[in-house]
Structure 1
């Protein structure tokens, strides 16, 4: 019974200690985040002395380009003074992504920084900052940076299709088709989610992905529907119209082909028709041109 009582006391004390540590870390993290805000404010005010005061006397900053190290508070102040003298109006923006505590008095902050100079492209880096707590104040001990990897985008090849972004509707009292177009991250692809509704019931739905093929140097698309069919298309522009040469495979394994013609009218209207259609080796009638209208966004 005595050992059980001691065990329960130990567990209770451990739980209380954990809660205290978490509370202390939350307070310290808030202090570090405020220190980052103060750092940005001092930088944007061009105050090199105040900036240097946020570093430890023997702190080290590593240049991301040259790898050169700036050692000591005085050298860091001189470095900032040189930056402000050479780049009038330079500004800094910083975002803290995470704060991890190595010990009660040491923390590592990871974040992104953006240096903005007038009439120049912003310079963005990812940084790691080591903070040490001295006399109740969190000061910088080490900072390293590296350039943020540049993510390539095919937007320049797809921007002629940007007018498609949004939701579109075509149909009548019996059936309608709703298509919603969106950019993917980094604007490398456009997704087109579609559904055919017949008498208030979705008959078929699917997704088309439109992207740039760097090998073929042309726009291509891939489509998948809820019945199990799939296909691909190659896009070519003729005036205001896009001609999409499609080939597909039906759920039963038979092949199909067609040429869809998408013609831009204005930002709220385009026309669509399908010609040269065949499925399973049989010719099919053309689909007459229909007008597709942008759906108004609900406030």
Structure 2
């Protein structure tokens, strides 16, 4: 497959295999079904992992949540109410919107032109610089993804406290393009076949096959646990002609689902996903797939969140081919 460059197999020899049940805390973040439950030494509720933070930072986090809720209702007035009177918003094209009224008009126009748009924020950094000032850095994940070059929308927001309430005084968006190679569904040829990962008696078996006249790859997976019980799920991967990029649709055994936007890299692929677990907890992740050779690849999930709470990256896991059915 043209999108993959062979990597020295010494990487596999130096890699520590991770016990399969501990790979993921939330199954919706896993494209291959490597684990279905949290390890016994991890809290069952992702919110339990949130570190202690000041009440002020909690209030700013609540404002970010309120922004997403208002945005997803397409309520431009409610979005604008979260800014200061003289706020400044610079979008990723460099256009400057000065003042709350101009910001409200901009969002109203955007919602009118994008009737189905939804957003979710991933806060990478939130720090308080003084009693009345804080800075937030993060990423905005929009669904459906915008057309054009693959990349990620990053933002920096300056929050100020006005009359006892935190408001956004300045926000700057930046579109960071991904460095990608030309891609097509044919680049997924490498995945076709049967794959396994196993350790300590827990086994993951996945099968990738062409469907719909080779326009999509269907990946089904089954995890066999120590007690003999099995869980399964599936993923579809194909070209989205509207967004002009590779996209995946994931369906997990707990009833959750996720959509991923795939971008080719020199080592393989990365997929930026946004989804929900079966109980409605929103999830995000960045999943990496890197080819070792024709019969093995490495998978890792990073920048993961569940319910707005950051989760640790998984370790790298080697997935090995058992057969090919091309």
TM-score tier (shorter): 0.3 to 0.5
Q: Which structure has more helix as a fraction of its residues?
A: 1
**In terms of Rg, which structure is larger?**
1
Q: Which has the higher strand share?
A: 1
TM-score under structure 1 normalisation?
0.46
- Higher RCO (Cα < 8 Å, 6 or more apart): 2
